[in-house]
Chain A
Amino acid sequence: MNFRKYLLILIPYTWLLLLFLVPFIIVVKMSLSDTEMAIPPYYPYFTLSEGWQGIVNFFSELDFENYVFLAEDNLYWKAYLSSLKIALISTAFTLLIGYPIAYGMANAPPEWRPTLMMIIILPFWTSFLIRIYAWMGILSQEGFLNQFLLWTGIIDQPLTILNTNIAVYIGIVYTYLPFMILPIYASLEKLDISLLEAAKDLGCNRSQSFWLVTMPLSKAGVIAGCFLVFIPVLGEFVIPDLLGGADTLMIGTILWQEFFANRDWPVASAVAVVLLLLLMIPIILFQRSEQKQREAEQ
């Protein structure tokens, strides 16, 4: 009995250990190493063949030099800040757009809901990269959007959208919208309609019942959605690379540059470790709120 219980717990923990902890330790170790033009391009390596002395030597070679370097060059904290800003703003926009959509879906006739859900999920059936490429086609100078706006006469000069931060925001909001809509929809769909009737009965008009009942009761969905968007956007690389301009500064791009352009695996690892630590804060907050939610539902 006990053995089976432990086995059940063991499986997810082994999974975590192998797929999260071990790679993370390797990355941390790498971030404490020095870059070198060699295979692999850093030093020291961990070898057991030299015995105890080898292990001592190995640890004595590790240092925090790369973190000091990150702190000294303003590029890195500016990139972290800029990523944070982009992640926060796009999360806010995703929420502003996603909430009404989720609300509309939850209030649609039940027989429509599977179809609406399908429409939200449908983009996932196409490659994410192809969808981003499609946005390049839409947003470019000669793209559909400009052609349409020119045709309607709203503008007489094509707008420069592609390769600016606006395009990055559009791409991020578009890509991550379903991650915002689905949890909010799930919480709104669960909402007992009689609660709204009760609010109305007790003197609320439509907007009062929304703010006093619907909104607080969908809070869990909103929080989940915000984290599901914010966390991956913080480290986003592909969207700023494809839609952004040269001045779009994001930590994902910097990470790529350190790794590939500078071949500096240790500094790249240090950037990744700091990014992970930054992400831990919202992740821990998210876990807390989830736990509170679970306790509340008991």
Chain B
Amino acid sequence: MSETDKTTCFEPWNEVGKKPLIEFRGVSKKFGALTAIDNVSFNIYEREFFALLGPSGCGKTTLMRMLGGFETPSQGQIFIDGKDISTIPANQRSVNMMFQSYALFPHLTVADNIAFGLKRSDMPKSEIAGRVDEMIKLVQLGNLGGRKPHQISGGQRQRVALARSLAKAPKLLLLDEPLGALDKKLRQETQFELVDIQEKLGTTFVIVTHDQEEAMTVSSRIGIMDQGKLIQIDTPDRIYEAPNSVRVADFIGDVNLIEGNATTTADDKVIISWAEGQPTLTAQTTTNITDGAKVTFAIRPEKIAMTTDKPTDASNAIEGHIHDIAYLGNVSIYKVRLSSGHMIKAQAANTRRLSRRNYTWEDKVWLSWTDTAGIVLTK
């Protein structure tokens, strides 16, 4: 499965006239004096794997719980399939949720947990056992159907929870930090499985997570939330490569943020003067920037090249000393101190063994990048 293939062939949000499965229209939610959700409007389309990403307390869980019917909006409307969901009680929506704590019924076996929702539906009794088996196979639970939740591992419980929430074949599945309780290796494996299952079933998934890597891995689009607002909705690559604000850039991955004053040129370029005694930076931009505006230049550490000698052909080159090195195995992060006091992070792949490393502490280095490597942000 490849991320790029998916984004090129599946982009319902770009299709004109495509009807969304879910539509938030000016939704706000207040808890007393606290505004948890602040005037949010966006759409989620059928078969999407939509991630709501943000720091804890940003309102992403509240947003999802409104979809599940556990909270009601203070203002605005939410539509599923064009119907205002405030008219449908939670237990009659074709929406199911996988809870962060899994919320498995401890007194019921795995099979009974999975069958729980089916028994409440109008599915004939004779078909329920078959459907449960199908679900157990889907999440690869083998012969654990007769066990109680406390008799299986955390990873297996996560699968039971997933199977249970999918058993009723909902139009929309909500996943609240579904992998949060798993260790990192298991989490990564499960992320891919989750994507496989979602593609196989074609169910629309909405996942809430604070783990950006998880969001990037599984989702077709990510909605970044901060303080009750959706600050950017875009595909994972766009979110990473083209954040629309300092906050998004800062939240997703590692980034160097350099504040300065912009001077526009005729050919869509911006010249940024940012510190006394430092060369100006040149960057390409598509956004309209007025002359002399305050801007932030954002550049990812891996986009910065590091050389001992000054590169001759680079659009941007600055000089500094290596202040610190963080060895991460496959890559190393170099913190380079400039004469102006700024600290710039650069990343280099460790293609050579550590003992043969080129750079070490206090080495004088040149940092360089092309004029398309970074992005100029005004927000």
Q: List the interface of chain A (C-beta within 8 A of B).
A: 192, 194-195, 197-205, 208, 212-213, 216-217, 219, 296-298
Report yes or no: A198 in contact with B168, Cβ–Cβ below 8 A.
no
Report yes or no: B90 in contact with A201, Cβ–Cβ below 8 A.
yes
Residue of B nearest to A219 (CB): B107
Give the interface residue-count category, chain B.
20 to 34
Contact of B99 among A197, A212, A213 (CB under 8 A): A197
> Chain A residues with Cβ under 8 A from B90's Cβ?
200-201
Smallest distance from the beta carbon of B300 to chain A beta carbons, Å? 38
Smallest distance from the beta carbon of A200 to chain B beta carbons, Å? 5
Report yes or no: A208 in contact with B97, Cβ–Cβ below 8 A.
no
What would 4 more interface pairs be, CB under 8 Å, given A194-B100, A205-B91? A194-B101, A200-B90, A201-B97, A216-B107
> Chain B residues with Cβ under 8 A from A198's Cβ?
97, 99, 103-105, 164
Given A202-B120, A203-B92, A208-B120, decide whether A192 and B97 contact each other with a Cβ distance below 8 A: no
Digit string of B126-154 for contact with A (CB within 8 Å is 1, else 0)?
00000000000000000000001010000
Smallest distance from the beta carbon of A186 to chain B beta carbons, Å? 16
Smallest distance from the beta carbon of A279 to chain B beta carbons, Å? 29
Report yes or no: A192 in contact with B101, Cβ–Cβ below 8 A.
yes
Whether B116 is near chain A, meaning CB under 8 Å from some CB there, is: yes
A298 to B106, CA, bound (A): 12
A141 to B90, CA, bound (A): 53
Contact of A194 among B92, B99, B120 (CB under 8 A): B99
Smallest distance from the beta carbon of B366 to chain A beta carbons, Å? 55
Smallest distance from the beta carbon of B98 to chain A beta carbons, Å? 9
Report yes or no: B105 in contact with A213, Cβ–Cβ below 8 A.
yes
> Chain B residues with Cβ under 8 A from A192's Cβ?
101, 103
Report yes or no: B150 in contact with A298, Cβ–Cβ below 8 A.
yes
The 6 closest A-B pairs by CB, nearest first: A203-B120, A202-B117, A198-B103, A194-B103, A216-B107, A203-B91
Whether B68 is near chain A, meaning CB under 8 Å from some CB there, is: yes
> Chain A residues with Cβ under 8 A from B97's Cβ?
197-198, 201
8 Å CB interface, B81-101 against A: 90-92, 95-97, 99-101
Report yes or no: A202 in contact with B150, Cβ–Cβ below 8 A.
no
Q: List the interface of chain B (C-beta within 8 A of A).
A: 68-70, 90-92, 95-97, 99-101, 103-107, 116-117, 120-121, 148, 150, 164-165, 168
Given A203-B120, A217-B106, decide whether A197 and B148 contact each other with a Cβ distance below 8 A: no
Report yes or no: A202 in contact with B106, Cβ–Cβ below 8 A.
no
Q: Which of A197, A198, A213 has the most CB of B within 10 A?
A: A198
Report yes or no: A296 in contact with B150, Cβ–Cβ below 8 A.
yes
Q: Which of B90, B92, B95 has the most CB of A within 10 A?
A: B90
Report yes or no: A202 in contact with B148, Cβ–Cβ below 8 A.
no
Q: Which of B101, B103, B117 has the most CB of A within 10 A?
A: B103
> Chain B residues with Cβ under 8 A from A208's Cβ?
120
Given A203-B117, A203-B120, A203-B168, decide whether A195 and B103 contact each other with a Cβ distance below 8 A: yes
Q: Which of B70, B101, B120, B148 has the most CB of A within 10 A?
A: B120
> Chain A residues with Cβ under 8 A from B168's Cβ?
202-203
Given A216-B107, A298-B150, decide whether A202 and B101 contact each other with a Cβ distance below 8 A: no
Q: List 10 A-B contacts (CB under 8 A).
A: A192-B101, A197-B97, A197-B103, A201-B91, A202-B117, A202-B164, A203-B92, A203-B117, A217-B105, A219-B107
Report yes or no: B121 in contact with A203, Cβ–Cβ below 8 A.
yes
> Chain A residues with Cβ under 8 A from B121's Cβ?
203
> Chain B residues with Cβ under 8 A from A195's Cβ?
103, 105
> Chain B residues with Cβ under 8 A from A297's Cβ?
150
Smallest distance from the beta carbon of B177 to chain A beta carbons, Å? 12
Report yes or no: B99 in contact with A296, Cβ–Cβ below 8 A.
no
Report yes or no: B150 in contact with A217, Cβ–Cβ below 8 A.
no
> Chain A residues with Cβ under 8 A from B107's Cβ?
216-217, 219
Report yes or no: A204 in contact with B150, Cβ–Cβ below 8 A.
no
Residue of A nearest to B106 (CB): A217
Smallest distance from the beta carbon of A297 to chain B beta carbons, Å? 7
Residue of B nearest to A206 (CB): B91
Contact of B96 among A202, A205, A213 (CB under 8 A): A202
> Chain A residues with Cβ under 8 A from B96's Cβ?
201-202
A200 to B68, CA, bound (A): 10
Q: Which of B70, B106, B150 has the most CB of A within 10 A?
A: B106
A217 to B106, CA, bound (A): 8
> Chain A residues with Cβ under 8 A from B95's Cβ?
201
Report yes or no: A204 in contact with B91, Cβ–Cβ below 8 A.
yes
Smallest distance from the beta carbon of B203 to chain A beta carbons, Å? 15
Report yes or no: A204 in contact with B105, Cβ–Cβ below 8 A.
no
A204 to B91, CA, bound (A): 6
Smallest distance from the beta carbon of B204 to chain A beta carbons, Å? 16
Smallest distance from the beta carbon of B343 to chain A beta carbons, Å? 44
Smallest distance from the beta carbon of B144 to chain A beta carbons, Å? 17
A173 to B117, CA, bound (A): 39
Smallest distance from the beta carbon of A27 to chain B beta carbons, Å? 41
